[in-house]
Amino acid sequence: MRFTYFHLMPWDSFTAKEEEWPVKNTYFDPVEATKLYATYIDTMAYAEECGWDGIGCNEHHFSPYGMMNNCNLIGAMLSQKTTKAKICMFGNLVPLLNPIRVAEEYTMLDVLSGGRLMTGFMRGIPHEYIAYNLNPDESRARLNEATQLIKKAWTEPDPFGWEGEYYQFRSVSIWPRPIQQPHPPIMMSGGNEESARHAARNRAMLGINFIPSLAKGREIIEAYLEEAHLVGWQPGPEHILITFHTCIAETDQAAIDALKGGVAYFSSTLMNVQRNAQEIVLQKTKFYKSEKNRDFFVERLKKAKSRTIEEAIHDGTVLCGKPETVVKQIKHAQKELGVGWINTNMKIGNIPNDIVTKGMELFRDHVAPEVRDIEKTPEPVMSMADA
């Protein structure tokens, strides 16, 4: 088992009762943000000392949900503040960006870190396309084309031209080239079975974000393994990552209380405007090819808002408790899903930073030593891949 430490860099003291997205930036305090950035970056670097194998960043826009508009900037800082941990860009919202720029910046991070980069090729969530004035209906096709273009930019030794449906370049020859050959590892999101199959066709790692149930997680992983088998390769546990809200404290009740407070702020304040914007976009676009996937996404948003922490713990969709409890939860999730990577998000909403840091130290001292060597893939998943 390997672990990544993920951070959204949320604005953790937002008090306005906003319902609409984008959120007015008159609420933003640059002086306070300077302090927050310093705290968050130091915390992320500290994750290496606490035993995490990678440190994860991603990209969001126009709200207090996250202050990481460009995760590559944070990754560059982390590359110089750490020596061993993977620099995990989970990641750039590739269809919104210039793919050659993404290829160049990712390559810079790979070189700056000495070959420690893990790349995320993310499609993003629906309303991000409104932020950058792009048609959400084109998101999948843009991601497909951009992925092939970036791979070619990383691996082609000679200048080449590109004439695609969405991107045209007369001549491409990026400097620098990546250390990792043929290119850094690629992860793609698997929020539903359609996305999981897309990741498998690209021979990419599968990243699953905040599943509504372990059973749904299994369905997504089975689709990924089945599609990989169809296109001629077999992923292992090291190709599958799942993200959990994580809170570790001295006692189960202390962890539950801290997570309740953080999730309440996350859901009612940070996610509120996001949720409203996403539902509007989904009503007017074909971001998801099928009604099933659209309805699943909306239902997941609603369930995340209404489900209690106790219910989430029972469902196995969060890691929350004292170290011994979290060890059992991790082992259960690994047994059920066969994942090789767990991505932990510990700064949930406005959980105080000292509680986050204490939880990291409990992970280092009492959790990581107990879960490093577990490796068991569930039989139904493997039998489908081997069929």
Given a contact cutoff of 8 angstroms between Cβ atoms, the answer to whether 162 and 170 are in contact is: no
pLDDT at 283: 63
Quote the pLDDT of residue 191: 86
Cβ partners under 8 Å of residue 354, min gap 6: none
What global pTM score does this model have? Answer: 0.90
Using 70 as the pLDDT threshold, list the residues of the chain that sit under it: 19, 275-306, 375-387
- Tell me the H-state helices in the chain: 30-49, 71-81, 99-112, 128-131, 139-155, 193-201, 214-230, 252-265, 271-284, 291-306, 309-315, 323-337, 353-362, 368-371, 379-386
97-102 contacts, C-beta under 8 A, 24 or more apart: 99/145, 99/146, 99/149, 99/150, 99/153, 99/167, 100/149, 100/150, 100/153, 100/169, 100/172, 100/174, 102/146, 102/150
Q: Beta-carbon neighbour count of residue 40 at 10 Å? A: 21
pLDDT tens readout for residues 28-64: 999 999 999 999 999 999 999 999 999 999 999 888 9
- Per the CB < 8 A criterion, the answer to whether 347 and 13 are in contact is no
pLDDT of residue 294: 56
Euclidean distance between CA atoms 145 and 189, whole angstroms: 16
* Residue 185: Cβ within 10 Å count: 15
Question: Tokens at residue 386, please?
Answer: 């081997």
Domain carrying residue 281: 2-386
Question: What local confidence, expressed as pLDDT, does residue 381 receive?
Answer: 37
Determine the Cα–Cα distance for residues 210 and 316; give it in Å rounded to an integer. 11
Q: How many domains does the chain have?
A: 1
CATH code, domain with 268 = 3.20.20.30
Q: Are residues 8 and 346 in contact, defined by beta-carbon separation less than 8 angstroms?
A: no
In this structure, which amino acid lies at residue 29?
Answer: D
| Structure token digits, residue 123 | 């499609």
The pLDDT assigned to 206 comes to 98
Q: Which of 212, 266, 260, 207 is nearest to 10 (CA)?
A: 266
Helix H or strand E encompassing 185: none
Integer CA distances (angstroms), 217 to 172, 207, 229, in order:
39, 11, 18
Structure tokens of 299?
A: 């239902």
Q: How far apart are CA 35 and CA 355, in angstroms?
A: 17
Beta-carbon count within 10 A of 131 CB: 18
> In this structure, what DSSP letter does residue 54 have?
E
What does R_g of the chain's alpha carbons equal in angstroms?
Answer: 20
Residues 6 or more apart whose Cβ sits within 8 Å of residue 54: 2, 3, 4, 5, 85, 86, 87, 88, 118, 341
CA 384 to chain centre: 26
Tokens 């996350």 correspond to what residue?
266
The residues, ordered by sequence, that sit 6+ positions from 295 with a Cβ below 8 Å of its Cβ are none
Q: Are the C-beta atoms of residues 206 and 235 closer than 8 Å to each other? A: yes
